[in-house]
Structures are given as structure tokens and as C-alpha cells.
Amino acid sequence: MSPSTTLRTGPADFEHLSVDDVSRHFGRRRAVSRITFRADRGVVLGLLGPNGAGKSTLLALLATLLRPSSGTIRYGEHTASTRGAALRAAIGVLGHDLFLYPELTARENLEFFAGLYGLPDRRAAASAALEAAGLAHRGDDPVSSFSRGMRQRVALERALIHRPRLVLLDEPFTGLDDASAAALGRRLHGLRAADAVIILATHDLDLAEGLLDRAVFLREGRMVEAVDRPQDVRATYRKIVS
């Protein structure tokens, strides 16, 4: 197992994530409403739904960037209010925006985030991440000179640099060509084999199909269906979209 897929077991480590009757309101607008599901280690859970279904809000809640208006999110035995920073050290997020500084080189970006996550050898961590992204030869180029696909690969390694237990991915296939999408698929398979809890939000099942073990379907902020068998995902998706 490569260093970048070996998961770190820190004090806030956990076996599963459980979302229990979670709602989040912004003023009078209900972004997500009464969502309940559970995600276990070694499983890729898809959050599927059209644009505006509440997928990104739900990911922000799981990432501890937002607090639920009601309901509880548990990371094993922990909650965000009890473990704060220790819990954030076990979460990796690849957002719709890439969280990279375009003026800095890929290596500088990765070293900066390795430092923020308290990794002891930032240089080695950045080099391993560049290797995993297939961009070791472009590590000293500014991110602003990269294509969207290359940025996405650096952003994914930035999200995984601290070997998180919970990996949250928001539309990770955006802007990737076929080869890059296949590479991302292989990376996610590696994370699954390394026992990460992986939650992938997307509106495009064509790209994510084959990766998902389970799926939760959202529409207008509500959970409309949950599927536990990969072979049922496509049929349920068709039913819901129609």
C-alpha cells in the first residue's frame, strides 16, 4: 500500500459516519430537510440528485463547515462540537472550487496544506502527493498555468495529503478528460481498499457509476430514496429523474 493510501488513525478516528434526521435552514429557505443515512468504512456512498438538491450543503455539514439546524451528525462516537479540530484532521474535502492558490506552485500549495494539517515532513508529503497526481514534473510550476484537469488532480491530492478517514468529494469529475476520470476512479478504489469512508456528490451518474457501493438520492433538499446495492443505482436514478 502506498503512503498516500495508508490511513492515519488519530485520536478522532471512527468506523462510520451517521447522519440522523439532519436539517439545515438558511433563514426561511430549507436547504436540506430531515436527512438520515449511514456511511461505513471501505464503502463509496453516492449523494445523487439534480442541481439544487442540497448535495453541497450536506457535504458542508459533514465537513463541519456548517452546523445543522436540527438533527445530529456523528463520526463514530464523536460529534463536531465535542472534537472540533481533531475531527477536522480526519476529514478531507474536494470541493466544487479547488481550494488552491493559483499564484503558488503545486508544490508550494501542497506543502502549505501539509503544514496546516501538522504533517511532520511537509516536503516529502508534497512530493508523494505530486507523484500520486502524476504531476511530479510540473511541481514547481504555478497552479495558474495548469489545465482544469491538472488542477483537479492537485486539488484531490491536497484533500488527501493528511490521509483522512472521511473523504468528501463534490462533483470530482468536473473538467476531467477520460484518462483523468479513469485515474480518479483508480484513486477512489485505492481509498476504498484503505478503509476510508468516501462520500461522493454528483448529478452525473454516468461518470460515477461503477464506483458507488451505495447511494442516497436527494431532491429539493429531501432524501427521496436510498439504495444499498450497486446494481440498483441506475434503475433508481432513472425512476427519480423521470
Partner 1 sequence: MFAHIVWLVLRKDFTIEVRSLEIAYTTLFFAISCVLVFAFALVQEGRAPEGGAAGILWIAIAFSGTLALGRTFERERQAETLRALLLAPAARPAVYVGKLLGIVVLLLAAELVLVPLVALLFQAALFAHPIWLALILLTGTIGFAAVGTLFAAMLVRARSRDVLLPVLLYPITVPVIIAGVRATGALVAPEFDAGVLRVWLALLVCFDVVFLTLALWTFEPLMTD
Residues that bind partner 1 (CB under 8 A): 63-67, 85-86, 88-89, 91, 93, 95, 97-104, 108, 112-113, 115-118, 142, 158
Identity of the residue, 191 or 212, whose beta carbon is nearer to partner 1 in the bound complex:
191
Residue 7, CA distances (Å) to 110, 168, 176, 190, 207 in order: 18, 15, 26, 11, 26
Helix (H) and strand (E) counts in the chain: 8, 9
One-letter amino acid for residue 80 of the chain: A
- We find the least distance from the C-beta atom of residue 152 to partner 1, in angstroms, to be 12
The least CB distance from residue 165 to partner 1, in Å, is 13
Shortest CB 96 distance to partner 1, Å = 8
Closest to partner 1 by CB, 164 vs 221, is: 164
Return the number of the residue (176 or 227) whose C-beta is nearest partner 1.
Answer: 176
Which residue's C-alpha cell is 461505513? 40
Give the CA dihedral 126, 131, 136, 138, nearest 10 degrees. -80
For partner 1, give the closer residue by CB, 129 or 211: 129
**Least CB distance to partner 1 at residue 48 (A):** 23
What gap in Å lies between CA 151 and CA 101, rounded to an integer? Answer: 10
Q: Which is nearer to partner 1, 113 or 217 (CB)?
A: 113
Spatial separation of the C-alpha atoms in residues 65 and 51, rounded to whole Å = 20
Q: Which grid coordinates are listed for 103?
A: 499564484
3-state secondary structure of 224: strand
- Closer by beta carbon to partner 1, 95 or else 139: 95
**Cα separation, 107 vs 206, whole angstroms:** 33
Shorter beta-carbon distance to partner 1: residue 74 or 112: 112
Q: Considering the complex, what minimum distance in angstroms separates the CB of residue 178 from partner 1?
A: 25
| Minimum CB–partner distance for residue 207 and partner 1 (Å) | 22
Q: Rounded CA gap, 229 and 211, in Å?
A: 12
Q: Are strands 29-40 and 166-170 parallel, antiparallel or unpaired?
A: unpaired
The three grid cell numbers given for residue 53, joined into one nine-digit string: 438538491
Minimum Å gap between C-beta 110 and partner 1 is: 12
